[in-house]
């Protein structure tokens, strides 16, 4: 399918993010298409997480427009933003679970915030989401402090999926995981993306994740963004992109990419 025929789920135009005089993004444009897994990469200070936070709302840009599902987003008005928030899920870097709540209670936070469903139904949904992310049923009553790093990420993912979103934002989902756990998490994301028809916006620095599950990659470089497949970006002559994709580590991760 030609890209112009694809449905654009996230549309960013002319985005400027700056802190004081330091410009992070300078008139940046980006399209994210329905059903794709987009990996977002960039060097330290390139503003990967800033871009994510600008799209979902907490960070107000200096200039530019953001649309999600064809509606204004990124610091939109309260009721409009709530309507959008019900259609996306976010997994923050450390899982961002509430330590004083059980896993089930954590998963139910968005259900309580956006719906008026009875507790019994919320318990059923929490159990279903726990199973969906590959955690044992007894995880429901555990507290975050009782979970391993990989289990915390899965619990955070279960909460991100609580409202059956169409769009999933992942902020460094495999950071802090050992290679086996990271590989298992990548496979889980790929399976869920396919079975649920999700669009995934994934900020990462994990070369193996990029090689395993992304359809396209967006590279934040020189305050702008360049998008392409791994193959296209491996041919790019921009120094940082060339080093990232064609240096020794990139070569090892992407060697099998066709």
167-186 residue pLDDT tens: 999 999 999 899 999 999 99
- Say what the pTM is: 0.92
Q: Which residues lie across from 37 on neighbouring strands?
A: 200
pLDDT at 206: 87
- pLDDT > 90? residue 74: no
C-alpha–C-alpha distance, residues 179 and 131, integer Å: 23
Strand order in the sheet with 216-221: 88-91, 167-171, 199-203, 37-42, 216-221, 224-228
**Tens digit of each residue's pLDDT (9 = 90 or more) over 233-245:** 988 888 999 888 8
Backbone angles phi, psi at 252, to 5 degrees: -65, -40
Q: Which whole number is the average pLDDT over 135-164?
A: 95
246 vs 150, more confident: 150
pLDDT(51) > 80: yes
pLDDT of residue 252 exceeding 80: no
* 250 vs 148, residue with greater confidence: 148
Higher pLDDT, residue 59 or 202:
202
Span 193-206, average pLDDT: 94
pLDDT digits (tens, 9 = 90+) for 87-122: 999 998 766 899 999 999 999 999 999 999 999 999
Where are the domains positioned within the chain? 8-87+165-254
For domain 8-87+165-254, is the CATH number 3.40.50.300? yes
How many residues belong to the chain? 258
Q: Which of 23, 8, 33, 9 is nearest to 64 (CA)?
A: 23
Closest CA to 150 of 95, 193, 69, 73: 95
Tokens matching residue 181: 């756990």
């Amino acid at each position: 399918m030609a890209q112009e025929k694809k449905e654009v789920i996230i549309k960013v135009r002319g985005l400027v993010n700056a802190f004081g005089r330091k410009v992070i993004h300078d008139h940046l444009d980006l399209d994210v298409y329905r059903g794709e897994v987009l990996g977002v990469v960039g060097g330290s200070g390139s503003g990967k997480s800033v871009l994510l936070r600008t799209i979902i709302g907490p960070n107000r840009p200096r200039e530019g427009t953001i649309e999600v599902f064809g509606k204004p987003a990124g610091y939109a008005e309260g009721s409009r933003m709530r309507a959008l928030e019900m259609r996306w899920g976010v997994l923050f870097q450390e899982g961002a679970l509430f330590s004083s709540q059980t896993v089930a209670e954590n998963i139910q936070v968005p259900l309580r915030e956006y719906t008026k469903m009875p507790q019994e139904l919320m318990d059923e949904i929490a159990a279903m989401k726990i199973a969906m992310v590959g955690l044992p049923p007894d995880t429901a009553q555990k507290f975050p402090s009782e979970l391993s790093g990989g289990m915390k990420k899965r619990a955070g993912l279960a909460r991100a999926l609580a409202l059956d979103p169409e769009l999933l934002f992942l902020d460094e989902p495999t950071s802090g995981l050992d290679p086996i756990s990271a590989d298992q998490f990548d496979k889980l994301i790929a399976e869920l993306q396919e079975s649920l028809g999700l669009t995934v916006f994934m900020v990462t620095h994990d070369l193996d994740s990029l090689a395993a599950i992304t359809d396209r990659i967006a590279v934040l470089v020189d305050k702008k963004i360049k998008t392409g497949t791994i193959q296209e970006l491996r041919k790019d002559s921009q120094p940082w992109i060339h080093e990232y994709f064609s240096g020794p580590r990139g070569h090892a991760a992407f060697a099998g990419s066709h």
